[in-house]
Amino acid sequence: MNERRRKPLFVKIRNYNSDEEKDNRFELIQLCLQLGVDGVTLPGSHIAAEPRLAPGRSNLSGKAVFGKTLQNVQDVYRATGGRLPIKALGGVFTARDAFEAIAAGASAVELLTGLVYEGWSVAQQINRGLLELMSSHGIANVVELRGRSTLELERAPTTRAASAVAH
């Protein structure tokens, strides 16, 4: 397939709800790395019980899943050492959301519910807002922003330990 395809290939990896599912997803992600897949799409959306629906459950998306999206992105960024491009998906509505998703390790963001509620212009608002946010943080481009919150979290315990000694 790699020889025949002309467009970048992103594999959408389903969200996980147990350690067993997580192991399965991370095996898939390692395979993606080995097989030269261009990137993975990580949705925070997940199956949730909803008695008002005929099947009794459905796929939850939108703002409510954004925390899960950030966590997934951060987990996969760490596990792959940033070697695999990640598209964050689930609950992205604003430039701040996109900024946080990229800082957690995403290379790009995708949105669906946000488009339904805000209309097509949301893409332009996100792009403009992202430039403003990066500029206010002294960040020149998204490559520099990518994974920054992961790095800062990893450094944080050392900083705290150092300040505890100083006091």
CA distance 76 to 57: 27
In this chain, which of 9, 12, 35, 152 binds ligand FMN, going by CB under 6 A? 12
Segment interacting with ligand FMN, rule: CB under 6 A, options 22-30, 90-98, 128-136, 144-152: 90-98
Would you state the torsion angle of the CA atoms of residues 117, 121, 126, 127, taken in this order, to the nearest 10 degrees?
Answer: 160
Residue whose CB is less far from ligand FMN, 89 or 145: 89
How many residues touch ligand FMN (CB under 6 A)?
Answer: 14
Segment interacting with ligand FMN, rule: CB under 6 A, options 2-10, 18-26, 74-82, 89-97: 89-97
Residue whose CB is less far from ligand FMN, 44 or 147: 44
In the complex, the smallest distance separating the C-beta of residue 67 from ligand FMN, rounded to whole angstroms, is 12
CA distance 153 to 104: 10
Q: DSSP E strands: which ranges in 16-141?
A: 39-43, 46-49, 57-60, 86-89, 108-110
- Residue 25 interacting with ligand FMN (CB under 6 A): no
Contacts 24+ apart (CB under 8 A), 28-33: 29/76, 29/79, 29/80, 29/84, 32/84, 33/80, 33/83, 33/84
Residue whose CB is less far from ligand FMN, 71 or 113: 113
Question: Which is it for the CA torsion 132, 136, 142, 148, positive or negative?
Answer: negative
Segment interacting with ligand FMN, rule: CB under 6 A, options 3-11, 76-84, 86-94, 155-163: 86-94
Site for ligand FMN in 91-120 (CB under 6 A): 91-92, 111-114
Segment interacting with ligand FMN, rule: CB under 6 A, options 76-84, 85-93, 126-134, 136-144: 85-93
What is the token pair recorded at 163? 């300040």
